[in-house]
Amino acid sequence: MTTAISVKNLGKKYQIGAAETKFRYNMLRDVLVDTISAPVRLVKALVGRSDRRSNQNFVWALKDVSFDVEEGKVLGIVGRNGAGKSTLLKILSRVTEPTKGTVSVRGRVGSLLEVGTGFHPELTGRENIYMNGAILGMKRAEIDSKFDEMVEFSEVGQFIDTPVKRYSSGMYLRLAFAVAAHLEPEILVVDEVLAVGDAEFQRKCLGKMSDVAQQGRTVLFVSHNMSAILRLTQEAIVLKKGQLIKRAPTAEAVDFYLSSGQPESGERVWDADEPSADTSAPFRPISLRLKDRSGKVVDTVRSTEPVTVEWEYQLDAPVTGLRVGMYLNTMRGEYVFTAFDTDDAKQFEQFGARQAGRYVSRCKIPADFFNEGRYYLGVNASSFGVKRYFMDENALSFNVDISGAPGTQWPEVRQGPIRPRLDWTIEKID
Amino acid sequence: MTEITKHEPSTIYIKPSKGLAALNLRDLWIYRELIFFMVWRDVKVRYKQTLLGMAWAVIQPVMTMLVFTFLFGTVAKLPTDGIPYPVFSFTALLPWGLFVVALNQGSRSLVAHNNMVTKIYFPRLILPMSSVFAGLVDFAIAFVILIGLMIYYQVTPAYNLLWTLPFFLLLALVTALGVALWLSAMNVKYRDVNHALPFLTQFWLFITPVAYSSSVISEKWQILYSLNPMAGVVNGFRWALLGSGNGPDITLWVSATISVLILVTGLLYFRSMERTFADTI
């Protein structure tokens, strides 16, 4: 087997100075100030009072990453936001240079990120195909020979000589995708996180990806969607804070990734002196947590396992008629449900009036409930018709991983926020 | 399907480029078609959705020429070495127009195409280069107008010098590309360039013999004056087309040397900045 990609001790340093975050790009003014103050810093450094700022101005987005990929393999790359996945892909596609280390890549690298780059609204579909093809590194003869295929794939045939600014967004995307899909690179890079477009489009990307893999070409696949990773890759690497911490068969790598949850996410803590217009005495929120079956705080919930929501709070004085609860929203802002700890009449009888003290309201959301995606948890504490003590519509967010949920054998996005495991019976009645 | 897709894949090595590494001219050659496409797109799109379309390529230099003729020819009566003022100024406006387009479009080329820069690999040099070349189309149109003007005013072209014109055109391109390389790379990091451009263009026009003849500059300042490479280009155009001025002398060589110097340093600066374009743009 030949090696398609060989990465050795790869490192990428980014500057993150204060000026950068404030202005996005440097201004000459800042540089002038910096230049003038440079001798001062030099003197400080000489007398031993080194300016720490200069050391904090950069961050390693990638550090000492090494791995090889054999030709024809599909490698998954997982990691949290900021783990260095996109930086790695950018270096592989030569958009940016590494600070350290080397990569050798055998063949042309194509990426489904490049969809529509260089498209000009005033040009016709035909002109844009040539333009975009040239940007992606295709020769004119190559575009000529694939032109008909691309037009057919894009399904915009009769509008091919119309300026693309008259296209619907769907047509535009299909045409753009047609060009990228016919680049036929030896190595395909797919960053699903950044992929634009609707579910239909994303599905098309994934479909194209498995085609490419079946043709024996190499694929690198980045996704937050663990079931897609499990479905489409045999092997995966896990990145954490710029370092490669695991390379294993996909199932093992995904398990490792999901179980190495960072405790600070998956939990929301309110400071006692945190000023909030929505808080009124005597109620004081303390913390909100999501816990998995083993009691560990998690920010990614597995659809096939139950999850416990825990809200801790303080009552500085007795309250009557209290109900403490939550809203669940999807990423698009649709409500999934609203529930309170005293919804049950017996519970309300017992806990409607609560003495001062520290409480925790806990509930369990059953397994086989969530569909894949991101959800927001809002919280509310009130006495119905009397007063609202506290509300936060977006107290905590979490991802749902649907590996193993019903229907995941089909690579499609299921509509709707819930994904129940229903008792299906099939009988032959004739 | 065809032979094209069956080539043996070549191996690319990606590593941090040290210092003033080679300019990777091989890649530039591989991507040569992209330069053509970028120029073609630029020309095609520039006058889209305008009432007058390509006529703008004619109107812009002609209007400037008319304003100059009125202000400097009729009112101020500047000396023109015996050439009708419209022909005198239009000859200079040809290379100047090319330079201004290259300066403005070229300097903004990287920032204007930031979505290409942050998403795909291609030799970044292509962007300023194609902006400069796109100016050649307007140049060709203006050249036709100049021929018309010369026929109208019955100005005999300096036949024996005409063959040197390509050299001066090349010098104009070298200067424009050099400046565009410097400013486009700088613009990625310091958007101040965007704000300085209108001022820079105007200032540069004043120190270039477009509206006036460089013979108004006294002898002892001539060398200093020729440090502006565009002075050499404009004087060269007038000399090659109209036979005015002294022809190639020390001032031309000073201008040409500065042009080449700007291009070479521009390439080196561009190359050293290129590494971080995608990160800072």
Taking only the tens of pLDDT, chain A with its 430 residues reads: 688 899 999 998 887 654 433 344 556 666 666 666 666 666 655 554 444 444 556 788 899 999 999 888 889 998 876 788 888 988 888 888 888 898 998 888 887 766 777 788 888 999 989 988 888 888 888 899 989 988 888 888 889 999 888 888 778 888 888 888 787 888 888 876 545 555 666 666 677 777 777 787 888 888 766 667 877 888 999 998 889 998 999 888 877 776 664 434 678 888 766 555 556 778 888 899 999 989 888 888 899 999 999 999 999 888 888 999 998 877 655 788 999 999 988 888 888 888 999 999 999 999 999 998 878 888 889 888 888 888 877 678 888 888 888 888 888 888 888 999 999 999 999 8
Lowest pLDDT segment from B121-125, B215-219, B239-243: B215-219
- Contact assignment for A135 to B13 by CB distance below 8 Å: no
A158 by Cβ neighbours in 10 Å (0-12 / 13-18 / 19+) ranks as: exposed
CB atoms within 10 A of CB A176: 26
**Which CATH architecture is the domain A3-12+60-259 placed in?**
3-Layer(aba) Sandwich (3.40)
Tens of pLDDT, residue by residue over B27-36, are 788 888 889 9
The reported pLDDT for the residue numbered A278 is 59
A57 touches chain B (CB under 8 A): no
One-letter amino acid of B104: N
Contact predicate B121/A108, CB 8 Å? no
Q: DSSP characters for B68-111? A: HIIIIIIIS----TTS-HHHHHHHHHHHHHHHHHHHHHHHHHHH
* Whether B14 and A92 lie within 8 Å, measured CB to CB: yes
Q: Would you call B120 and A27 a contact, using CB atoms and an 8 Å cutoff? A: no
Residue B132 forms part of a structural domain: yes
* Domain ranges across chain A: 3-12+60-259, 17-56, 267-401
Q: Which member of B16, B44, B48 has the closest CB to residue A97?
A: B16
Q: Do residues A75 and A69 lie in contact, with contact meaning Cβ atoms separated by under 8 Å?
A: yes
> Hey, is the C-beta of A104 within 8 angstroms of any chain B C-beta?
yes
pLDDT at A335: 81
Name the closest residue on chain B to residue A95, using Cα atoms: B121
For A225, list phi and psi in degrees, rounded to 5: -90, 100
On the question of pLDDT at B164 being above 80, the answer is: yes
User: For residue A102, what is the nearest residue in chain B, using CA coordinates?
Assistant: B15
Where does the pLDDT of residue B1 fall: very low under 50, low under 70, confident under 90, or very high at 90 and above? very low
Query: Does residue A350 belong to the interface with chain B, where contact is any CB pair within 8 Å?
Result: no
Q: Is the pLDDT of residue B260 over 90?
A: yes
Compare B17 and A160 and report the one with higher pLDDT. A160
Cβ under 8 Å to B: A residues 368-407:
none
CA-based nearest residue in chain A for residue B275: A97
| pLDDT at res. A136 | 83
Whether B183 maps to a domain, the answer reads yes
Q: In angstroms, rounded to a whole number, what is the distance separating the alpha carbons of residues A334 and B71? A: 68
> Rounded CA gap, A348 and A401, in Å?
34
DSSP A354: B
Our CA-based measurement puts residue B45 at a distance from the nearest CA of chain A, in whole angstroms, of: 6
B19 at interface of A, judged by CB pairs closer than 8 A: no
Predicted confidence band of residue B243 (pLDDT cuts 50, 70, 90)? confident
Mutation choice for A interface testing from B120, B274, B281 by most A CBs within 10 A: B120
Q: Is residue B10 part of a domain?
A: no
A120 interfaces chain B, CB cutoff of 8 Å:
yes
Phi-psi region of A129 (alpha: psi -120 to 50; beta: other; left: phi over 0): alpha
A102 — contact with chain B (CB < 8 Å)? yes
Question: Å from A178 to nearest chain B CA?
Answer: 17
Q: At what angle do helices B85-112 and B165-189 cross, to 10 degrees?
A: 40
For residue A322, the surrounding DSSP H or E stretch is strand A322-330
Which residues numbered 29-48 in A keep a CB inside 8 Å of some CB on B? Answer: 31
Q: How far apart, in Å, are the Cα atoms of A408 and each of A110, A190, A233, A411, A422?
A: 28, 21, 15, 7, 14
Nearest to A90 among B45, B115, B278 (CB): B278
pLDDT value for B32: 87
> With an 8 Å Cβ cutoff, are A97 and B121 in contact?
no
Q: Is residue B220 part of a domain?
A: yes
Contact (CB<8Å) A131/B14: no
Q: Which residues pair with A110 in a beta bridge?
A: A188
* Closest alpha carbon to A98 in A107, A88, A108: A88
Q: Which residue has the higher pLDDT, A82 or B72?
A: B72
Which helix (H) or strand (E) segment holds residue A65: the answer is strand A58-70
Contact at CB, B45 and A120, closer than 8 angstroms: yes
- Chain B residues closer than 8 Å to A111 by CB: 119-120
Task: Name the burial class of residue A48, with classes exposed (0-12), middle (13-18) and buried (19+) by CB atoms within 10 angstroms of its CB.
Answer: exposed
B8 DSSP 8-state letter: P
B57 min Cα distance to partner chain A (Å): 19
When divided into structural domains, chain B yields a total of 1
Where in the sequence is the domain holding B102, given as residue range(s)? 23-280
Residue B6 lies in a domain: no
CB–CB of A105 and B278 under 8 A? no
Which tokens belong to A243? 């370092």
Q: A203: which residues sit within 8 A by CB, 6+ positions away?
A: A411, A412, A413
- Select from 2.70.50.60, 3.40.50.300, 3.40.50.150, 3.40.50.2300 the CATH code of A267-401: 2.70.50.60
d(CA A282, CA B139): 78
- Assigned domain for B242 exists: yes
In this complex, the residue of B2, B9, B113 whose CB is nearest that of residue A145 is B2
Does pTM surpass 0.80?
no
Q: Spell out which residues of chain A touch residue B11, defining contact as CB-CB under 8 Å.
A: 104-107
Show which of residues 164-193 on chain A sit within 8 Å of chain B, judged by CB atoms: 184, 186
Percentage of chain B exceeding pLDDT 70:
94
- ipTM over cut 0.90: no
Among the listed residues B253, B255, B202, B198, the one whose alpha carbon sits nearest the alpha carbon of residue B226: B255
**Does A130 sit within 8 Å of B9, measured CB to CB?**
no
Closest residue in B to A133 (Cα) is B34
Asked whether residue B124 is domain-assigned, the answer is yes
Interface residue of A5, A21, A28, A162 to substitute, partner B, most B CBs within 10 Å: A28
Inter-chain touch A103–B191, beta carbons under 8 Å? no
- How many CB pairs (< 8 A) connect A and B? 121
Q: Identify the CA nearest to A352 among candidates A343, A339, A364, A360.
A: A343
The answer to whether A208 faces chain B, any CB pair under 8 Å, is no
Reported as a single tens digit per residue, the pLDDT across B193-207 is 889 999 999 999 999
User: Rounded CA gap, A374 and A165, in Å?
Assistant: 33
Partners of B34 on chain A (C-beta within 8 Å) are: 134-135
Q: What is the pLDDT of residue B16?
A: 77
Pairwise CB contact (< 8 Å): A142 & B5: yes
Q: First CA to last CA across chain A, in angstroms? A: 55
Output the DSSP codes for B126-145.
Answer: HHHHHHHHHHHHHHHHHHHH
Q: CB within 8 A of B261, min separation 6: which ones?
A: B178
Residue A31: its chain B contacts at CB < 8 A?
Answer: 190
pLDDT tens digits for range A77-117: 988 767 888 889 888 888 888 888 989 988 888 877 667 77
Chain A residue with Cα closest to B12: A105
Closest among A42, B157, B212, A137 to B231, alpha carbons compared: B212
Two tokens, residue B140: 């060709």
Residue B134 Cα, gap to closest chain A Cα (Å): 15
Choose among B1, B11, B15: nearest Cβ to A98: B15
**Burial A84-96, CB ≥16 within 10 A → b, else e:** bbbbbbbbbbbbb
Give the pLDDT of residue B203.
92
| In a domain? residue B250 | yes
A113 in Cβ contact with A258 (< 8 Å): no
**Which residues make Cβ contacts (< 8 Å) with residue B253, sequence separation at least 6?**
none
CA distance B14 to chain A (A): 5
Question: Which residues on B lie below 8 Å from A26 (Cβ)?
Answer: 189-190, 280
The overall average pLDDT reported for chain B is 85
B115 touches chain A (CB under 8 A): yes
Q: Does B56 touch chain A (CB under 8 A)?
A: no
When scoring A34, A65, A105 by the number of chain B Cβ atoms within 10 A, the one with the most, hence best to mutate, is A105
- Over 90: is that where the pLDDT of B258 sits? yes
What totals of helices (H) and strands (E) does chain B contain, helices first?
12, 1
Residue A119 near residue A131, CB atoms below 8 Å? yes
